[in-house]
Structure 1
Amino acid sequence: MWKYMECGYLDLFLVSAPIPVLRWFTNAKILFYCHFPDLLLTGRQSFVKRLYRSVIDPIEEVTTSMAHKHLVNSDFTRRVFKTTFKSISSEPEILYPSINLLAFDREYDVSIQDVIPDYRSDQEVFLSINRYERKKNLPLALKAFGHFIQNLSPDVQKKYRLIMAGGYDERVEENVTHYKELVNLSVELGVASHTTFLKSPSEPVKILLLKMARALIYTPDKEHFGIVPLEAMYCRTPVIAVNSGGPMETIIDGVTGFLTKDEPELFSDAMKKVVSNEISGVSMGNAARTRVEQFFSFNAFANSLNRILQEM
């Protein structure tokens, strides 16, 4: 990829604003990788912001159209791209993102007791990893866990723990307020004593949690792609996710995890399958890892990108 860039044949961008300048002043072929249309990610609560975006939004479509080729991170994003940028007739090509698999193969000097001192070795862990933002639909994980343990005896309930881990910044008001909302909700649902909240866990801690969890509870609806499910799958951890957006392309329902509606009862049913003898968690985990290695490794990403560059 870098050979092409250094020779001036092609530039790869994530923001469309520089594209016209490159078209006017260089002979480079321009490849635009659209994670998601920016105009759909920006709020418009204030009059000033609405006025500003009324100018910027049309410019985004015009400048995006000036690229020689467009890439998107999922079929879901491709459909959104085509619906949003109606004047662009060319079909974007999908290039799935990759994850750093080497980071998950390393050994880290961290134990679960370092992170959660009261953790018991016989406990089964369900894990949720997402930023503490309302759009991530995190209450679904708590409600599903509540349904999961509600009919269990107190002794059996102690076998299960939900770990809610996510990006947290004291300077971000939504992080602070939503974290408190979730803690309060865990109390209301009667699952507070079985739930652990972690703020911005380090990479080694995150990897440790992904490897030890019985399942990842992935709650966002209409997620553009979703990296965390890939990380869990590479760790041989099944993923239970909402049946929409990127997870529909990364998870094979009933094979590498479960896809379901964003209803607590249905998530709870999937959680019961994971801990029962109804499925083989080992087989599902192995299938999940194989899928990541085959379709979402860096080699898969590099080979696809190289093919695209050669064609351009």
Structure 2
Amino acid sequence: MKVTFIHPDLGLGGAERLVLDAALGLQDLGHEVSVYTSHCDRNHAFMEIKKGLIDYHVYGDFFPRSIAGKFHIIGAIVRQLYLSCFVPTDSDVYIVDQLSASLPLLRLRSDSKIVFYCHFPDQLLAQRSSTIRSIYRLPWDWLEQVTTAVADEILVNSKFTRSVFAKTFTFIKRTPDVIYPCVPIAPSVTSSHMATLIAPYTTVLSINRFERKKNVELAIKAYAKLIHNPSVGAEDKLALKLVIAGGYDPRVSENIEYLSELCTLAKDLRLSYCLRHPGESLDTIDPQINVLFLPSITDSEKTVLLENSRVLLYTPAFEHFGIVPLEAMYAGTPVLAVNSGGPTETVKEDVTGWLRDADDTEAWAKVLYKVCFDDEFINSSYSKMVDNGINHIHNNFSREAMADAFEKIIEKVIKQKHRPPVFLADLTLFTLLFSALAIPIIAFLLYSFL
């Protein structure tokens, strides 16, 4: 079958990783697969994109993402609508994720079936810091709901997201199927330089995009409690490093601001740090530093860090799913995660890791002490936990398992004869876009001539 994925920005995030793995998995099953996106920078993309292992097409990157730093939702919708004008109309199925606004247009252009993968309702991610902003979001929230309802099949990434979906999209009476993201189980390329850098140390690792919702400050605070614990000797303190790594895009102001805030927090907590800016090289790690910030790590560096760290700290609360804990377990690193959201479905307490409350820094520090300095645990239980994590991923979260699940959904949706109604979504989309474009023009004309 011919399968076309439609994704807003093919960068380095968890959503992009899922789309790429699903596309490659279906391609391995013999399907003709292509990915359409509004943006893809080969220098800021996963290795499979750089190597050309998947067919992808970029349309509409010239459209601005926002207007004067505002109205991001309008920019995103316009970019996706333009992109959707170029997808092939002879596809058997479109698999769309993140943004549902173009689903009515896809129905208008083609008889192809539509599967929508909801990572999390967008309206719950939008900021509502004022009454005006909340009122502004209302029509776009409605648009998200009525356009999502146009999909022939709706998927979510976890049972947690499914429960949130039901509470948020009350207009939609269907129950989405769950397809968990996967960990690519294949030989990986590692960075020998990074391995040499961290080899002398015991590494505590945090990998997240540099966004405030990721709550990375929890990792820094827990590490600070451990480092400043009087029972930890001076030599042990020098040997223990916290590495804060992850996705970083210099085009995104929040990434820049949050990285700066984290550096300031480390300084305030009396932690010395080193920051390797994107594109810079790091020849050595000063033994005196506590925290190493590594924005925009490569895939090979990420692999080394995951394979050689003592524990992964996964700090987001109410995370929709969370792929990094799975990557860590597959690499043989136990996980300490927040006791909410997706990780409660993937991290097994005292089997593959631990779950603790996001506001209990003391509890996090205690687990860190156990996994870093408790000789009895390290000698008797740690290796078993490592094996448990690896087996857990192989048995439940392989790319093959995810691709099989997608294939079954595609086969199911192809056979469906009844399709959801589209009129309400068409009307809402036209009204909102007309208003968004016409009101500024009318205001400008009135201002100019009156």
Structure 1 residues 127-184: Cα deviation after superposition (integer angstroms, max 9, x where no partner): 0111222211111111111222322121221221111112233443332332222222
Measured in 2, the distance between the counterparts of 1:299 and 1:310 equals 16
Q: Is the 8 A contact 1:221 1:244 kept in 2?
A: yes
- Gapped regions of structure 1 (runs ≥ 5): none
Query: Is residue 370 of structure 2 the alignment partner of residue 273 of structure 1?
Result: yes
Which structure 2 residues correspond to residues 91-130 of structure 1 after superposition, within 5 A?
A: 91-102=175-186, 105-112=187-194, 116=197, 119=198, 121=200, 123-130=201-208
1:134 matched to 2:134? The reply is: no
Q: Does 1:164 align with 2:244?
A: yes
The one-letter code of the counterpart of 1:155 is E
Matched ranges for 1:117-266 at <5 A: 119=198, 121=200, 123-149=201-227, 150-151=229-230, 152-192=232-272, 193-262=289-358, 263-266=360-363
Please say if residues 344 and 355 of structure 2, whose CA atoms lie closer than 8 Å, have aligned partners that are also in contact.
yes
Distance 1:156 1:89, change over 3 A: same
Shift of 1:35: 1.0
Q: Percent identity between the aligned chains?
A: 39
The offset of 1:96, in angstroms, is 0.5
Seen in structure 2, the aligned counterparts of structure 1 residues 289 and 80 have a Cα distance that, compared at 3 Å, is: same
* Partner in structure 1 of residue 103 of structure 2: 19
1:252 corresponds to which letter in structure 2?
A: K
Partner of 2:169: 85
Structure 2 counterpart of 1:156, which letter?
A: D
What is the identity, as a one-letter code, of the residue corresponding to 2:163?
R
Q: Give deviations 1:38-69, integer Å, cap 9, x for gaps.
A: 22222345788656533222121111112222
Maintained 8 Å contact 1:129/1:164? yes
Residue in structure 2 matched with residue 289 of structure 1 by the alignment: 390
Name whichever of 271-280 and 151-160 sits farther off.
271-280
Cα deviation, 1:265-307, whole Å, max 9, x if unaligned, reads 1111212222322252221111111111121111110111222
Number of residue pairs matched by the alignment: 306
Partner-residue secondary structure (3-state), 2:317: coil
SS at 1:101 equivalent: coil
Q: Tell me the alpha carbon deviations over residues 8-31 of structure 1, each in whole angstroms, 9 at most, x when there is no partner.
A: 543322132232234455443322
**After the TM superposition, which of the residue ranges 213-222 and 126-135 deviates more from structure 2?**
126-135
User: SS at the partner of 1:300?
Assistant: helix
Note if contact 1:72-1:92 (Cα within 8 Å) is conserved in structure 2: yes
Shift of 1:4: 9.0
Q: Is the 8 A contact 2:313 2:335 kept in 1?
A: yes
Aligned amino acid, residue 106 of structure 1: S
Give the TM-score of the pair, scaled to structure 2.
Answer: 0.63
8 Å CA contact 2:195–2:304 kept in 1: the answer is no
Partners of 2:131 and 2:324 lie apart in 1 by 36
- Give the AA of the match of 2:214: K
* Max Rg structure: 2
8 A contact 1:4–1:10 mirrored in 2: no
1:227-270 residue CA offsets vs partner (Å, 9 max, x unmatched): 11111111010010001111111111111111111121111121
Point out where structure 2 has 5 or more consecutive residues left out of the alignment.
4-30, 34-88, 273-288, 414-450
